[in-house]
Amino acid sequence: MTDFIFVGCDLHQETLVNRIAKGQERSERKTFGSSKAGREKLIGYLKEKSKQNGGAPIVFAYEASGQGYVLYDQMAAAGMECHVLAPTKMESSVKQKRNKNDDRDAERILKRVRAHKLAGEELPAVWVPDLQTRDDREIVRARQDLSDKQTSVKTQLRCLLQRHGIEKPARTGKPWTKSYWQWLDQLTQDRQQGIGLRTALATLLRQVRHLDNEIEQLDKAVDQLSRRSDREGIIDALDRESGIGRLTATAYALEVGDFTRFRRGRQVGAYWGMTPSSDESGEVNDRKGHITRQGSPRIRKLLCQATWYRVQKDPQVREIYQRLVRRNPKKKKVAVVACMRRLAVRLWQVGRQAQLEMKEGK
């Protein structure tokens, strides 16, 4: 049997805590800085250890985090087998959760990757997107973040007016129309209002205007991105679906990346965290709980918005939603999530077909 050098890494912003072991031998702890220089030192150390053991292959693993895939890229470039694991799928007991530390986490990862390599156990590895997909995602995510910030500022503004008992006149119409803006601007100049209210209102209005301008710029960037030749066919197909706009279509396509990596719709629902959690033991039958909420919350939010639009505008979707509500009128959220899951699967099917057609040159 080939000996391997196994490495379980607990990745942090400042440090890389590693448990390193040859084959089934006892592991040792090695800590390096979480920087380019620190990663290079780690790679040098592992290569030297491999050389000392007759060129034993190195198998490296760590849990996915907000730090992206820089560590993966550097390890892969050095010729090492590297796995990025899904933290939500790393099973642990209640006792282990209460006794977490860097060393134990690294050891736990080491045991999983060793069991995968030596005993064939399934490894909860995530799909690592290519560099272009990662870069494209930044545009769409920045656009979604701005939308959230804008909503937050508008909420602050509404609460400010409520605290001072100010109600919009009927003549202003709906919020954020031209007449509504004019009324708000007039309030900032109204000397009958306190200086504190006028100052706070003015700064919130400047923030909304700034965010509006930034959103407009990013909308153009998203549109340009969606029309690139390597993605346009897929995004166009998604965009034709009811309730799906250019932003939602682009975001969904980029977060999926490769539509052929899923084999069935059930995997798609699980990937977006819209499948119910399960609680089962020897004495209790399988009980379904809340959805797992694994996967991207950004996509779940977009799917929720699109689903409500479809419920209101599409008779077929509305009938499905109402039928689900009639089963359990007190749990309308369950019906919404079910419709979201159906939409997610539908978009995957459409995107997968479009991707296959693009590959075939149709």
Ordered DSSP codes for 138-176: HHHHHHHHHHHHHHHHHHHHHHHHHHTT----GGG-STT
Please state the pTM of the whole predicted model: 0.87
Instruction: Provide the 3-class DSSP secondary structure of residue 28.
Output: strand
pLDDT at 100: 66
pLDDT at 167: 92
pLDDT at 172: 87
> Is residue 29 within 8 Å of residue 19, measured between CB atoms?
yes
Kindly report, residue by residue over 200-239, the tens digit of the pLDDT: 999 999 999 999 999 999 999 999 999 999 999 999 999 9
Instruction: Provide the 3-class DSSP secondary structure of residue 58.
Output: strand
Choose the CATH number for 5-119 among 3.40.50.300, 3.30.420.40, 2.60.40.1120, 3.30.1020.10: 3.30.420.40
pLDDT at 29: 96
3-state secondary structure 318-356: HHHHHHHHHHCCCCHHHHHHHHHHHHHHHHHHHHHHHHH
pLDDT at 287: 46
Nearest to 111 by CA among 2, 26, 43, 50: 26
> Is residue 1 within 8 Å of residue 55, measured between CB atoms?
no
Phi, psi of 169 (to 5 degrees): -65, 150
Kindly report, residue by residue over 127-151, the tens digit of the pLDDT: 999 999 999 999 999 999 999 999 9
* DSSP conformational letter for 10: E
Helix (H) or strand (E) holding 294: none
Mean pLDDT for each 10-residue chunk of the chain (362 residues)?
Answer: 87 94 94 95 96 94 92 95 90 56 92 94 92 95 96 97 93 91 95 94 97 97 94 95 95 95 90 72 50 80 94 92 89 90 95 92 68
| Structural domain spans, the chain | 5-119, 131-226, 235-360
